[in-house]
Amino acid sequence: MLDQSKKDKITSDLLGSIRLNYSFMIWMAFLVTSFSICIYAYITQLQNGLAVTGLGDYVSWGIYIANFVFFVATSLIGMLISAVLGLSGAKWAAPLARIAEIIALAFAAVAGLVIVSDMGRPERLIYVFIHARIQSPILWDVTVVTMYVLISALLLYLPLIPDLKICHDKLVKIPNYLRNFYKILSLNWNGSLEQEKIILQSTRILAILIVPVALAIHTVTSWLFASTTRVGWDSTIFGPYFVTGAFVSGCAAVIIAMFFYRNNYKLKDYITEKHFDKMGKLLVLVSLVYLYFNLNEFMVPGYKMKKGDAVHIHDLFAGSHALLFWSVQIFGLVIPILLLLFKKMRKPLPMLVIALFVLFGAWFKRYIIVVPTMEHPFLPIQNVPLNFRIYTPTLTESLITLAPIILVLIIITILSKLFPIIPVQETIDHLEESN
């Protein structure tokens, strides 16, 4: 048995972050201010329509859609860490499950809004449902993303219930309404075996359910592209290609979050170098799989060089998108893999830098997937101004693209201020087991 003082130390360490301090307020003020600026940009889009963007007849999917794919991708990490690693009994990942789940929930919930920002007439959103066609991957996407948000929310909430009770009991200095909030959410938790069994079983069911749903959300997102005949999208491996790409960006997001929580929330004893080491290895694994899919994705059409594909591949490899393409592949994938093979690089700070490269690379990779294809339609583009042919995002468009990213940061910040970011009860239980 763990002695009481040790338990108290763990509890106070992990609940330490739940308080209002200056750094939190400055950070939130910064986020809210920048968010307001982006909202202003969105208001100009509402007034003037998509004319304020660089989108046109030919490139009608630009950075909004690239952003959407990135969001859905990053949210997939919740499934990998809390479900796949959890079910396979990888105990080291347990302290990271909540971080992953918060990232998953925030990104998946905001992904829907990203799509709305791509609509020139968002008041017609309801038509998507009124005139829904069950045959359309767009409807499937809406359906599975909604499911994933619901399951992720439950998967975040269920293991949180014991901790909510601890929050209510131990955090005596916080305002009463907040304590009541914890009390209501903790559903009369008393730590009985019966209750523990319910949580354990339900979490297990959800963890199993989320695996196919998570695979579905990103496979269906890939089908939005792959179910067309367009060059660069007309691929049978787009589903797995997207899913593995998603794990890459998700792992990077979790590593970045781990670094900040570890330093700012003083959790060095709980998020240890061992966790970084393991996450580094995981990132190498998923990146290698992704690299393999990349090879397939370009090698096969590149070998055959069908007319349409040839234009597209030339443009990516040596044309106007070459700089971005090779930067993404080399700095966002190949070099991170090589560096992370060394144990010295799997330390918190180097991993933060590498993860930032991977995450930025992942975002631009989505751009490389969406935009060049739109610039290469099968019918020749004739007699149009240059800005119809070559897509350049406008400032307004870029600000509107930033908005959901800031919103995700706000959601993650609030959630990790309200709830202990490392499971308290679980950490104590694990220690007791190992003793």
Partner 1 sequence: MISTNKIYTTIVIAVFTVLLSFQSYSQNWDIPANKSSKNSYIPFNNETAKAGEAIYTKNCQSCHGNPGKANSLKTLKPVPPDLSEKQTQSRTDGDLFYIITTGRVVMPSFKIVLSEEERWKVIAFIRSYNKSYVQVLSKTDPSKSKLVKIVLDFNAKNNKIRVYAKANEASGVVLLKDAEIMLFANRYFGKLQIDKTLTTNSEGYADFNFPKDLPGDKTGNIDIVVNVNDELYGEIEHQEKLNIGIPTDKPALNEQRAIWNTLLKAPIWIIVTYTSLILLVTLVLLYILNTLRKLKKIGDK
* Footprint of partner 1 (CB under 8 A): 131-135, 140, 143, 147, 150-151, 154, 158, 161, 187-190, 192, 194-195, 198-199, 201-202, 205-206, 209, 213, 382-383
Smallest separation, CB 208 to partner 1 (Å): 9
The residue (of 145 and 359) whose beta carbon lies closer to partner 1 is 145
- In the complex, minimum distance from the CB of residue 50 to partner 1, in angstroms, rounded to a whole number: 21
Of 142 and 402, the one with the shorter C-beta distance to partner 1 is: 142
**Rounded to an integer, what distance in angstroms lies between the CA atom of residue 366 and that of residue 48?**
27
148 contacts 214 by C-beta, under 8 angstroms: yes
* Residue 373: its H or E element: helix 348-375
Instruction: Output the six-digit token pair for 125.
Output: 């959103």
Q: Measure the N-to-C terminal CA separation of the chain; round to a whole number of Å.
A: 7
Asked if 417 contacts 24 with a C-beta cutoff of 8 angstroms, the reply is: yes
139 and 132 Cβ atoms separated by less than 8 Å = yes
| Nearest partner of 250 among 371, 99, 410, 114, judged by Cα | 99
Residue 186 CB, shortest distance to partner 1, in Å, is: 8
Tokens of 119: 């609509």
CB of 225 to partner 1, least distance (A): 17
**Which amino acid, one-letter code, is at 394?**
T
Q: State which residue, 65 or 213, has the beta carbon closest to partner 1.
A: 213
**Residue 307 Cβ, how far from partner 1 at the closest point, in Å?**
24
Phi/psi zone of residue 89: left (φ > 0), alpha (ψ -120 to 50 degrees), beta? Answer: left
Tokens standing for residue 29 = 């003020």
By C-beta, is 209 or 288 nearer to partner 1?
A: 209
Measured from the CB atom, the residue of 87 and 132 that comes closer to partner 1 is 132
DSSP state of 380: P
Tell me phi and psi for residue 55, to 5 degrees.
-75, 150
Q: How far apart are CA 98 and CA 113, in angstroms?
A: 23
- Which of residues 195 and 296 has its CB atom nearest to partner 1 in the complex? 195
The smaller minimum CB distance to partner 1, of residues 131 and 307, is found at: 131
What minimum distance in Å lies between the beta carbon of 210 and partner 1?
10
Which of 34/195 has CB closer to partner 1? 195
Rank residues 154 and 257 by Cβ distance to partner 1 and give the closer one: 154
Instruction: Find the shortest distance in angstroms from Cβ 131 to partner 1.
Output: 8
* Residues 6 or more apart whose Cβ sits within 8 Å of residue 74: 103, 107, 246, 249, 250, 253, 362
User: In one letter, which amino acid is 22?
Assistant: Y
Sorted by sequence, the CB contacts under 8 Å of residue 5 that are 6+ apart come out as none
Q: What's the closest the beta carbon of residue 407 comes to partner 1, in angstroms?
A: 25
381 DSSP 8-state letter: P
d(CA 287, CA 362): 11
CB of 161 to partner 1, least distance (A): 8
Return left, alpha or beta for 383; rule: phi > 0 is left, psi -120 to 50 is alpha, else beta.
left
